[in-house]
Structure 1
Amino acid sequence: MKILYDHQAFTGARYGGVARYFYDLIVSLRQRGVDARLSVRFSNNVYLLNSNQFRTYSYRYFLGYMPTSMLFSQVNRLLSSAQVMQHDYDVFHPTFFHPYFLKFIGQKPFVLTYHDLIKERLGDAYGHLDNANKDLKQTLLDRSARVIAVSENTKKDLVDLFRIDPDKITVVHHATHFRTLNVPAAFQVQTPDTYLLYVGNRGTYKNFMPFLKAIAPSLKSHPHVQLICAGGGPFDATEQQLITELGLNGRVIFHDIDDFVLYRLYEKALAFVYPSLYEGFGIPILEAFATGCPVALSNTSCFPEVAQDAALYFDPASETSMRQAIEQLIQNDALRASLRQKGYVRQEAFSPEKVTTQTLQVYQQVV
C-alpha cells in the first residue's frame, strides 16, 4: 500500500502536535513495510531535520518569519500538487485544510484527520490560523473517503457542527513517543527546586493569562514554588507587563525546549497544569503521564475523556477553581503521588502501535 502525505503541517512549524502526529505515523508505517511518502522539500521542522528518513532542506527567514514561510509553502505546494497529480499512491492524506489538491486528485481516495474544532466552537478569535472557513471544511469532509477524529469529543463536535454521517468518522486517539524516549542519564536540565509546569503556546484559547492571574496569590503565599513555561516562545510585552503587575518577576520563567529538555522538565515538576478553554486531544497529558508528572486539567472538551481519573480537574473560567487546584497540588503530597500512579496506569490505553494499526485499518477500508 502506498500512502502520500503532503507538506502543510511541516513547512513553517518547527514543533507542534499536528506535525508530531504525522511524523510519528509515517515513521511507524514505514517500520511495518508500508510505502509512506511525505511530499515536502523545504522545511525547518525539527522532527524532519533530526531524522535521516526524509530529504528536506532547512531555510533562513530572509524575508521575516511569516513571509519566508509562506514563500516556501508555495514551493512545497507545487511539489505536492505534482505528486498528487501523478496518482502514484493508493490513499492521499493531507496534513491540513488547504484544498489545493482537490483539482488534481481525481478519483483517488483521501483521508482527513480532524484534530479539533476550537475555531468552530469558540469563534475565529480563538481558532488556529488555518485560513479555512466552515464551507471549505464542509467540502473537504464531503469529498473525503473517511475522516479520522482524534477523540470522541472531536467526533461529537464534527457531527454537531457539520453535515456528516457519524459512521464516516473513526476515532483514533493520539499517543506519545515519550513512552519510549531514551533520554541519556547524563542529560540534565537546571531548574528551580519546586515548580509548576505549563507547556506550549499561550495565546487565546490556551487561557494562560487568566490562569496566571488566578494562581498569582498561590505563588506569592508559597515563595518556594515557581512556574516554568516551556516552549511557545519568549514572553511578549503584554505577558511581561502582566508578570510585573502581578509581582511575579523572577517567579515565572520561560524555558526553550527540545524533546530531551521537555522530558526532564516534566520529570522534575511538582505538577503539569493545562488550563485551556478547549482542546481536541491534548498530547502533553500523555507526555506528563509517561514521565510520572502529576496532572491538573480544565474540566472541558476532551480532557476528561483522555485523562479520566488520572488528573485533578478545575473550571478554566473560574479563578477560584484554578487557584484551589493549585493549592491542592502544592500542599498535598499524597494527592500528587496518587495522580502520578494513576497517570502511569492510564497511559496504557494509548500507544503508537495502536495509532498505527487503527489508521492503517482506515486506509484499508477506502482502498
Structure 2
Amino acid sequence: MFELQRFGGITRYFIELMSRLSGNLEFSNSIVFNDNFYLRNADSTFSKGFKIPFFRGAGRLSTIVNRLKSELDIYKGSYDVFHPTYYHPYFLKRLHKPYVVTVHDMIHERFRDAYSPGDPTCEYKERVIRNADKIIAISKNTKKDIVDFYGIDEHKIQVVYHGYGNSSGISKIADLPRRYILFVGQRNRYKNFNRLLHAFAIVRKKVSDLQLICTGSDFTLQERILINSLKMNDAIRSMFVTDSQLNYLYQKAVCFVYPSLYEGFGIPILEAFSEKCPVVLSDASCFPEIALDGGIYFNPHQIDSIVDALFKIITDDNLRRKKIARGSEILNNYSWDKMAMETMSIYRELV
C-alpha cells in the first residue's frame, strides 16, 4: 500500500504502528520506490526508499522492483512475524513464518457491483485472510463481517481499534463561510454523497447562510450537474487541505457529517471529537460502535432522516454542547499507543 497510496488510512495506520513498536521488537519495511506522504515524512528509523521516477513505464518498473525486494526479504527469513500491508497473496508461496493480516473493512465484498468484474481484490483477500495465523479486525462490526462472509472461527480474529490525531497543529484558512457543515474524504459509491446533497439543499432553504464544505478532490462532472440542478452552486465548495487545515475546519464547523452506508472504522469521527466538532452520522455498520452516544444518528437511506438530524444539531445549542462533551469522553477509548500495544501482543503470541 505504500506504493499504491500517496495519502490514505491504511498507510497512515502502518506508520502509526511502526513508529510505536518498542521493547525488543524491531521492524523492517521492504519498500524501494514510493511517493507515500507519511513514509517520506517519517523519522530516520524508517527505510523510505526512493521517490518513483518520472518517465514512461516508471510505475510498472517500481512495482516490479518493490515486489522483488519484498520477495527477497521474505525468502531470507530474518524475521519472526510477517504483517502484509494489503491483500495481494504474492508472499504465500515463499513465506515460512507466521503472519498476521489487518482487515480494514469488507467494502469490496458488500459492494461487489461497484467494482469492475475483473477486480481480483475479493479473491486475493479471502486467500490471505484464510491462511493467516491471526486476523486483526479494526472494529467488532468488521469482525462480524469476516465471520459472516468466510465462516472463520471468531477466536482467530482479534479486534484492535484505530487511534486518532496528528501532530500537524492548526493552520487557519481565510474567507471561510460563517456557518458551514463539513464533509471529509472520498465521495464515491458507498459514501452516500448524493443523498447528502439532496438533504443539504432542503436544510439550506430554511437556513440560508449555511454552506457545505467538502475536503478532498474536486467535484466530478456528475456531482456538478447534481449541485447545479439543486441550485446550490453558491452554497457548496470543495477544498484540498493539509492535516493542519483540516483540524481548523473541524474546529470552525457547525458539525461534521458522515453519511456513509458502510465503513470499517471511521477515523474522521475521532478527529471531529478531538477538535470539539459535533458529529452527525449514519446509524449504519460500525458507526454506533465507534461513536457510541456521542453523535446524532440518521438513517442513511432516507433523505428526511438526514435532514432531521442536521436540523437538530444546527438549531439546538444545548444539544451541541452535550455532544461535544460526550465526544471528548469517548476519545479515551482510542489511541494509537493502545493500538500498537495490542498489536505487539499479537506478534508475541505468534513467536
Shared fold per TM-score greater than 0.5: yes
Answer yes or no: is the 8 Å Cα contact 1:12–1:69 preserved in 2: no
Shift of 1:262: 1.1
Cα separation, partners in 2 of 1:70 and 1:341, compared to 1, 3 Å = farther
Q: Residue type matched to 2:173 in 1?
A: V
Does 2:90 align with 1:90?
no
Distance 2:59 2:225 in 1: 30
Distance 2:347 2:141 in 1: 22
TM-score by length of 2: 0.94
Cα separation, partners in 2 of 1:68 and 1:264, compared to 1, 3 Å = farther
Distance 2:347 2:299 in 1: 39
Which residue does 1:144 correspond to in 2?
Answer: 132
Counterpart of 2:135 in 1: which secondary structure?
Answer: strand
Q: Deviations over 1:161-198 (max 9, x none)?
A: 103111100100111133xx2515xx312222211110
Alignment of 1:43-192 (within 5 A): 43-53=34-44, 54=46, 55-59=48-52, 62-63=55-56, 69-105=59-95, 107-125=96-114, 131-134=120-123, 136-178=124-166, 181=167, 183=169, 187-190=171-174, 191-192=176-177
Match of 2:19 among 23, 27, 35: 27
Which residue does 1:249 correspond to in 2?
Answer: 233
Distance 2:186 2:119 in 1: 16
Shift of 1:68: 5.5
Match of 1:228 among 197, 213, 217: 213
Q: Residue type matched to 1:366 in 2?
A: L
Q: Deviations over 1:187-243 (max 9, x none)?
A: 312222211110000000011112111221112321211111112x11111111111
Does 2:332 align with 1:348?
yes
Shift of 1:156: 0.6
Distance 1:292 1:70 in 2: 44
Answer yes or no: is the 8 Å Cα contact 1:183–1:260 preserved in 2: yes
Aligned residue pairs, count: 347
Shift of 1:60: 5.5
Distance 1:26 1:234 in 2: 32
Answer yes or no: is the 8 Å Cα contact 1:11–1:69 preserved in 2: no
Shift of 1:33: 5.3
Identity %: 41
Distance 1:263 1:62 in 2: 36
Shift of 1:322: 0.6
Distance 2:293 2:243 in 1: 27
Counterpart of 2:213 in 1: which secondary structure?
Answer: strand
Q: Deviations over 1:71-102 (max 9, x none)?
A: 42332122111111111111000011100111
Answer yes or no: is the 8 Å Cα contact 2:108–2:121 preserved in 1: no
Distance 1:69 1:296 in 2: 40
Which residue does 2:278 correspond to in 1?
Answer: 294
Structure 1 unaligned regions, length at least 5? 1-8
Q: CA RMSD in A?
A: 1.9
TM-score by length of 1: 0.90
Shift of 1:117: 0.8
Cα separation, partners in 2 of 1:268 and 1:130, compared to 1, 3 Å = farther
Q: Residue type matched to 1:48 in 2?
A: L
Q: Residue type matched to 2:49 in 1?
A: T
